A and B are shown apart, each in its own frame.
Chain A
Amino acid sequence: NAGVTQTPKFQVLKTGQSMTLQCAQDMNHEYMSWYRQDPGMGLRLIHYSVGAGITDQGEVPNGYNVSRSTTEDFPLRLLSAAPSQTSVYFCASSYGQGKTRRQYFGPGTRLTVT
């Protein structure tokens, strides 16, 4: 299994541009989520999905859209990038029972908005 994959690894955008951060998992996990990591603030939840066709907002959803058309993919869209969205973005998926349940994180996408 490749686990959770994210593309691209690095991206530079200009203010106002749009782009999609890709996230895929091959573990048949039901639950997927997006976090952003900013210096001194830990990771904060942007959006999450409990299954194909079902998404909901997290702590910091403004400026981001998501959709979940398949179990495997959970893309994050920035419609009009702003410098405040400069961050490292992590996608995660989870499944499992009892004590084994945990989040599997992707390697991250470092986004810079100028």
Chain B
Amino acid sequence: AQKVTQAQTEISVVEKEDVTLDCVYETRDTTYYLFWYKQPPSGELVFLIRRNSFDEQNEISGRYSWNFQKSTSSFNFTITASQVVDSAVYFCALSEAQYFGNEKLTFGTGTRLTIIP
């Protein structure tokens, strides 16, 4: 069975600080897909990134970056120079390859990030 662990329940940082959200996953598949979603206070789920297990390159998008390490089964998310608008709950999720197309996602419990002005 697959599992996603987000050990950080809540994080608070002062604006402009960098912050890293941790995600550790478990799966028996060799091919799988990892995701990050943002849930702002308004409640909708905002897609941030999808990463395939066979693509280990890290990715940067503006102030956001993701560090994927298969050796430690981690897919961590870093926000650089945080802003108040980054305050949200962030979810990491996993989909195994056998479900490709079905996209049955297993979510972590989320990390609530608060940026203090």
Contact = CB atoms under 8 A, between A and B. Distances in A.
A60 to B, nearest CB: 12
Scoring A42, A50, A101 by chain B CB atoms within 10 A of each residue's CB, the highest score goes to A42
Contacts of A41: 109
B35 interface: yes
Contacts of B37: 105
B35 A102 contact: yes
A79 interface: no
A33 B103 CA distance: 9
Contacts of B44: 105, 107-108
Interface in B19-52: 35, 37, 43-45, 47, 50, 52
A19 interface: no
Contacts of B108: 42
Give the interface size class of chain B. Answer: 20 to 34
B107 interface: yes
Contacts of A7: none
Interface of A is mostly: strand
Interface in B101-117: 101-110
Contact of B107 (A30, A33, A42): A42
Interface of B: 4, 9, 35, 37, 43-45, 47, 50, 52, 91, 93, 101-110
Given A94-B103, A105-B37, 8 more contacts: A33-B102, A35-B107, A43-B91, A45-B105, A50-B102, A58-B104, A103-B103, A104-B47
6 contacts: A40-B109, A42-B91, A42-B107, A58-B104, A103-B103, A105-B45
